[in-house]
Every structure is written in structure tokens, then in C-alpha cells.
Amino acid sequence: MKKLLKLKNWLTVSEAARHLSILFGEDVTEADVLRFALDGHLELSVRFVNKAPARRGTESIVARAVITEIPSREANIVVETYTPRHRRPTTISVTTWEEDIDYIDGIWDLLMVGAGRTSVENRYQFLTDGPAVETIREGGLLVSRPDGTRSEVLEYRSKLESLDKSSIASSFDQSDHYYPAEALPSDAAFVVRTSALQDLEALMSESEPALERQFGRPEPDLDRPVGPRERTTLLLIITALAKLANVDVSRPSKAALAIENETVKLKARVAPRTIEDHLRRIPAALRREIED
């Protein structure tokens, strides 16, 4: 399975369960994978096989606090009880939504709030022969990408008279029949990014300090997955070194070309696109460090 992870960017939930079974040395089911996601141990994603209607949004974090309820969606406020990889306190963010309807496809990370969380919980209950989830969570099905892009999935409804129009944002007045989706589209599926599985493996390995105290610190394993904390540290080191070299990482595309030239001199070329992808993660790493 480790060879498979190197060849694929994502796995189905069943494939992820099989990989974790091998990793943990015990049986892990699809329901377990969903439970890990619901409990914040694993980031779950959605693969939109066909294009899905959505509206794009830009997130701005405004506060961090302990919140038990999601405020009215009319205020465009999204509450995340925690982020799976860093387990920080509740983050309150305001999302500014675009009015035009867009269409998204491919792999998007699922925000475990609102209709998204309900969809996962319903699937989990189905797999474990549990009761259907009848509690209606306020908020739509929200997805995001590593670059910070956020979208709310929409669905087409023809029977407008059956809707409570008071709960619909005013920005939808010009978009006939499209409203926030209440469940995962039938032609979309839950998946798990291989990077999320590697983060989970790193999280499990973080419980090993007691062994280090007893037997000593082992030599660094260059083949092990990079954990979230270590990734943030490496990005901060890259930022500092770039500043010393007068490389402006706030312009990722241009900086990537300059860094690529240096890797060529080292006879270990790294593609500009790969470098740029890492550089684009720096602002989020800096923000996390400031917040912590």
C-alpha cells in the first residue's frame, strides 16, 4: 500500500480503510474511517465526478472562541469546532460569497460543519446499522482547497413553494432554483487524500516520546511522513532562508523559477510547479504560528 500511496493523490474510503488496517495491524472498516473524520483525526475530502453547481467564497478569520452553536447562515458566518490537523480552539470566520453560480469538480476537502457533517454522519450510521440522523444542522455543504478557495455546493430545486424563503441568502434572489445543498450530490463520493493519511500516521507516531525517553532518540527517518507541526516548521525555515537570499516568496511563481535554477545547479532539479505549491502554503503556516 505504501507504493500505492506514492502513485495516487487520493484513495476511496474502502482503500483508505485497507491501508490503515495494514498500518495499525488491526481491522479498520469504512465506518472507522468516517468516524476518524467526524472526531477530527482525519481530513475527509469529496470527489465531484461531474461538475456541481456552487458559489465561491473567500474566508477571513475574525476570532477564536469556544462556540457550541453555528450562527445564522444569513450572516455568512462559518464555525469550525476544530481543524483536524492542528486541534486548535474553535475558529470563527466570515466568508464573503460571490453572487455568480460556478461549477466545481475534482477533489475538494470537506468542512465538517452543516450539511457536510450530516452527510458523513448519515453514511456512518448506515454502515453501522444505526439510526438515521434527523437533527437538521444549520449551514450548507462547504468544501475548500489547500489554496484557501472555499465553495458552497448548491442544488437545483423546482418546487419553490416548498422552501422556506426566509432562510435563503439574498444573493440567491437572482439565481433561480439554486439553493444550498442539504446532502452530498448522488454523483459525488467521499475520498481521502494520501496526504491526510500520512498526517494521521504522523499523529499516531507522536505518541512515541515515552519510548524515546526510555531508549534514546532515534536517528531521523527520512522516509517517514512529515507531520503537520514539522511541515509548518519547514515552511518557516524556507521563509527565513528566502528572506536571507532576497527571494520574495509573496510572489510564488517568480520565486519558484529562481529556486528551480538553484536546484538545477545542485543537480537535483525540482519542478517550478512543485516549488510554487509549497510556497503557497507559507501564508497559512505563518498565520497558524501567529495564532498559536
Q: Are residues 15 and 132 in the same domain?
A: yes
Least confident of 98-102, 171-175, 221-225, 235-239: 171-175
* Alpha-carbon span 116 to 45, nearest angstrom: 10
Where does a domain end: 179, 197, 215? 197
Q: Are residues 7 and 63 in the same domain?
A: yes
Q: Are residues 62 and 187 in the same domain?
A: yes
pTM of the model: 0.57
Residue 211 lies in a domain: no
Q: Are residues 175 and 53 in the same domain?
A: yes
Q: Are residues 121 and 236 in the same domain?
A: no
Distances from the Cα of 230 to the Cα of 85, 120, 227, 247, angstroms: 12, 29, 5, 22
Residue 154 lies in a domain: yes
CB 137 within 8 A of CB 113: yes
The mean pLDDT value for 245-271 works out to 88
Q: Are residues 247 and 116 in the same domain?
A: no
pLDDT value at position 3?
67
The mean pLDDT value for 15-23 works out to 91
Residue 217 lies in a domain: no
The mean pLDDT value for 213-239 works out to 67
Residues in the chain: 292
120 three-state secondary structure: helix
The mean pLDDT value for 188-207 works out to 85
Q: Rounded to the nearest 10 degrees, how much is the dihedral formed by the CA atoms of 33, 38, 40, 41?
A: -10
266 pLDDT exceeds 80? yes
pLDDT value at position 235?
85
Please state, for a pLDDT cut of 90, what percent of the chain lies above it: 25
What's the mean pLDDT when you consider all of the chain? 77
Q: Are residues 182 and 262 in the same domain?
A: no
Residue 205 lies in a domain: no
Q: Are residues 192 and 230 in the same domain?
A: no
Q: Are residues 22 and 152 in the same domain?
A: yes
Kindly indicate the confidence band of residue 198, based on its pLDDT and cuts at 50, 70 and 90: confident
Question: Is the pLDDT higher at 180 or at 176?
Answer: 180
Residue 164 lies in a domain: yes
Residue 179 lies in a domain: yes
Buried b (16+ CB within 10 A) or exposed e, 93-127: bebebeeeeeebeeebbbbbbbbbbbbbbbbbeeb
Q: How many CB atoms lie within 10 A of CB 140?
A: 25
Q: Which of 121-130, 154-163, 194-203, 267-276 has the highest mean predicted lDDT (pLDDT)?
A: 121-130
CA angle 243, 247, 248 (to 5 degrees): 90
Strand partners for 178: 156
107 pLDDT exceeds 90? yes
Residue 203 lies in a domain: no
197 pLDDT exceeds 60? yes
Q: Are residues 144 and 20 in the same domain?
A: yes
Q: Are residues 192 and 232 in the same domain?
A: no
* Alpha-carbon span 247 to 180, nearest angstrom: 43
Phi, psi for 286 (deg, rounded to 5): -65, -40
Q: Which helix (H) or strand (E) holds 267?
A: none
CB 11 within 8 A of CB 191: yes
With 0-12 / 13-18 / 19 or more C-beta atoms within 10 angstroms meaning exposed / middle / buried, residue 152 is buried
Residue 215 lies in a domain: no
The mean pLDDT value for 26-30 works out to 92
* Alpha-carbon span 278 to 244, nearest angstrom: 18
Q: Which domain holds residue 278?
A: 226-292
Question: Is the pLDDT higher at 157 or at 259?
Answer: 259
Least confident of 103-112, 113-122, 264-273: 264-273
List pLDDT tens digits, range 71-92: 444 444 444 444 444 444 455 5
Q: How many domains does the chain have?
A: 2
List pLDDT tens digits, range 132-172: 887 766 778 999 988 778 899 998 776 544 444 444 444 44
Please state, for a pLDDT cut of 70, what percent of the chain lies above it: 70
With 0-12 / 13-18 / 19 or more C-beta atoms within 10 angstroms meaning exposed / middle / buried, residue 64 is middle
CB 138 within 8 A of CB 169: no
Q: Are residues 139 and 270 in the same domain?
A: no
Strand partners for 77: 94
64 pLDDT exceeds 70? no
